[in-house]
Structure 1
Amino acid sequence: MTMTTNREATVGSVTRTTSRRGPELLAQLEKYALAVLFAVLCLFFTVYGQTAETFPTLANIRNVLGSQSVVAVAALASILPLTCGKFDLSVGAMIGLSSIVTGSAAATHQLPLVTAVCLGVLSGAVVGLLNGWLVAYRDVNALIATLGTSTVVAGLISLYTENQVLTTGIPEALTDVGSGLWLGVPRTLWALVLISALVYYLLRHTPYGRYLASVGSSPTSARLVGLDVSRMVLSSFVLSGALCGIAGVLLLARAGTANPLVGPGFTLPALSAAFLGATAIKPGTFNVVGTLLGVLFVAFSVNGLVLAGAADWVEPTFNGVALLVAVAVSPAISQRRAGKA
């Protein structure tokens, strides 16, 4: 009798352990699937005949990392409103505006570089303030509000620049940041590391970050516990705009010119990286590490395809497909985890 009972207890314990291992294994797969896929992708392009000589070189890696710093900062800017449950489609427009404002202030109006940079960052924050006011205090749908401001900003940029590229007068101190290396690493990448650390700390280790997540999870519950939801939403857009302003300054430093047409092109890659990041590391949650991984995955995928001889349409198509897949997968992961909790 005792032996039978002990045997049944042992079998029950093994069954419970096995049943726990299934969800735990799935959770680990969700966390690191994108990282594994990224590693496999890099390995493939490293050994593939048409890309083997170029893809794994230090020059190519530096070029990709340096050029993607702007996209990465834009993606980090995107996740602040997204954490509140709000889209921001004006990310690219704010980057373009900041680039034009900074370049014009320094080159055309001969303002000190520090002043020009501050004006560029401020221009992004002002647009973010307008976005936040429309969404938080006028109850305008975030997609409509930010699409509208993006269109208005693009029109104002066109009016001011007459669609002419600013190519002269950009201070060398700024372009040196965009093209130079420090300890063998592009300087723009060091700026990205610093910004990423600050955003990570803000979202993960401050009450403000927890408040943003609470608002995104349930605005009604956030109000019931005393949070000023409107102010939180407004602040997320302002911070997002300021980060886009910084991205615009980095774009100017990297390119050495202020092009009024390039800004809107950053919106889709930024959102693709943000939603891809929400499927990794902390699945179902917009997070900094996952977002950076999403940027790297998209960037090196496109880089490998281009080196393999892919046509120009590959990059926007890849970004669009990545966004669609991530948007489809991320809510499913969130719902599954919420149900498990």
Structure 2
Amino acid sequence: MTTTTNRTLGSEAGTAPPRRRPELLAFVERYALAAMLALLCLFFSMYGSTAETFTSLANIRNILGSESVVAVAALASIVPLTCGQFDLSVGAVLGLSSVVAGTAAATHGLPVPVAVAVGVLVGAVVGTFNGWLVAYRGVNALIATLGTSTLVAGLVSLYTENQVVSVGIPESLTNFGTVRLLGVPQTLYAVALIAAIVYYLLRHTPYGRYLASVGASPTSARLVGLNVPRMILSSFVLSGALSGIAGVLLLARAGTANPQVGPGFTLAALSAAFLGATAIRPGTFNVFGTLLGVLFVAVSVNGLVLSGAADWVEPTFNGAALLVAVTLSTAFARRRAGRT
């Protein structure tokens, strides 16, 4: 009897560590990126050549204000990613919306709210075109959105003749991008509002659950009655509209509409989105993780630049971050699927 009891206790004792180990591992997975961000901030705050500048209020405001465009572009990316689709056109659409809103206000004299609405609407139209190609014509999302990105960039270049639109941008629009409210860049409030809306949409509505179901298994989603093509189409429309908002924020921040800068935001947005999929809810694209990814990349690049790194550091870091993030998020997703 005693032997049997001891065996039972020994068996239970032997199984306890494996239970604790997965819980500890899950905790580390969720918050490792946040811990790394904190360590980076601590390092650059103490490192000799960056300590004074990195911790200055002006630099912190610069990071937060400048990354507002990337943050919204990254949030645009995670909507189709949740649905299992890539959108490589977010940067080009962002640039297009910036040019359209800028010329609508500066050249055609439209009121600022109308110009902004036109910029966002153009983004949604491009997203609709992407969604139609992918959902109803069966074109691979990578190919479709890459082609759209190239086409849009070419049309923007043709329309602007590669000239920066800078004259006549309304002061009320540029003030939104430069003036601070309670010491915080106003664009940051816009990011917070958009993030809250996207979070609620993806996490607390049937629509968000349907998107995740389609992303997990289109076949299963179709069997339970979901209109898979319509869900895919809607995810691209939302992505395009959010990219349009990012373009308007870029116009407000820069005070100009540069036809060359848009496509460069795609890599930064995807890097942040995939980094975000390694944090908070590892293996899934989520809003808080995405914003954390944006800050991680921004702080890293900012600290390196302040320490004297060359211009090639930012694109190199973004590319490396994307590769690492894709690898980790894929591994976490497989582990998550294995648990379920």
TM exceeding 0.5: yes
2:114 corresponds in structure 1 to 115
Unmatched 5+ stretches in structure 1: none
Q: Distance in 2 between matches of 1:186 and 1:4?
A: 69
Secondary structure at the residue paired with 2:114? helix
Code of the residue aligned with 1:146 in structure 2: it is T
> CA offsets per residue over residues 276-328 of structure 1, 9 Å max, x none?
00011000000000000000000000000000000000000000000011111
SS in 2 for 1:281: coil
- C-alpha distance in 2, partners of 1:143/1:4? 63
1:156 corresponds in structure 2 to 155
**1:9 and 2:8 matched:** yes
Identical aligned pairs, as a percentage? 75
**Cα deviations across residues 176-234 of structure 1 (Å, max 9, x unaligned)?**
11001111110000000000000000000000000000000000000000000000000
Corresponding residue number in structure 1 for 2:227: 228
In the TM superposition, what whole-angstrom CA distance separates every residue of 1:84-136 from its partner, at most 9, and x where no partner exists? 11111100000000000000000000011111000000000000000000000
Measure, in 2, the Cα distance between the counterparts of 1:296 and 1:127. Answer: 28
Tell me whether 1:316 sits opposite 2:309 in the alignment: no
| Aligned partner letter, 1:334 | A
Cα distance in 2, alignment partners of residues 78 and 315 from structure 1: 20
SS in 2 for 1:53: helix
Q: Distance in 1 between matches of 2:57 and 2:10?
A: 55
1:272-287 equivalence runs, <5 A:
272-287=271-286
CA distance in 2, matches of 1:248, 1:181: 20
Residue 13 (structure 1) shift: 2.4
Partner in structure 2 of residue 255 of structure 1: 254
Amino acid at match of 2:27: Q
Q: Distance in 2 between matches of 1:143 and 1:8?
A: 57
Distance 1:336 1:185 in 2: 40
Deviation at 1:16, TM superposition (A): 2.0
Which SS does the other structure have where 1:302 is aligned? helix
CA distance in 2, matches of 1:340, 1:138: 35
How do 1:106-255 residues align onto structure 2 when only pairs under 5 Å count? Answer: 106-255=105-254
How many Å apart are 1:80 and its aligned residue? 0.4
Render the CA deviation track for 1:51-74: whole Å, top value 9, x for unaligned: 000111111011000000000000
Residue type matched to 1:208 in 2? Y
1:20 positional shift = 0.2
Deviations along 1:15-35, one digit per CA (max 9) or x if unpaired, are 222110111111111111111
Match of 1:27 in 2: 26
Q: Residue in 1 aligned with 2:35?
A: 36
Q: Give ranges in structure 2 of 5+ residues lacking alignment.
A: none
What is the distance in 2 between the residues matched to 1:32 and 1:217? 24
Q: 1:69-108 residue pairs with structure 2 within 5 A?
A: 69-108=68-107
* Count of residues paired in the alignment: 340
TM-score (norm 1): 0.98
2:290: which partner in 1? 291
Cα distance in 2 between the residues matched to 1:328 and 1:89: 18
- Counterpart residue type for residue 271 of structure 1: L
Distance 1:55 1:11 in 2: 54
Give CA-to-partner distance per residue, 1:231-287, whole Å, 9 cap, x none: 000000000000000000000000000101010010000000000000110000000
Cα distance in 2, alignment partners of residues 85 and 239 from structure 1: 14
Distance, in Å, in 1 between the alignment partners of 2:117 and 2:29 is 40
Letter in 1 for 2:287: V
Q: Which amino acid aligns with 2:190?
A: A
Moved more, 66-75 or 148-157: 148-157
User: 1:322-337, aligned counterparts within 5 Å?
Assistant: 322-337=321-336
How far 1:14 moved relative to its partner? 2.1
- Farther off after superposition, 324-333 or 236-245: 324-333
Paired letter, 1:249: V
Distance 2:18 2:130 in 1: 47
Three-state SS of the structure 1 residue aligned to 2:51 is coil
Letter in 2 for 1:75: A
Aligned to 1:338: 337
Supply the distance in 2 between the matched residues of 1:313 and 1:327 (Cα, whole angstroms): 22
- Amino acid of the structure 2 residue aligned with 1:130: F
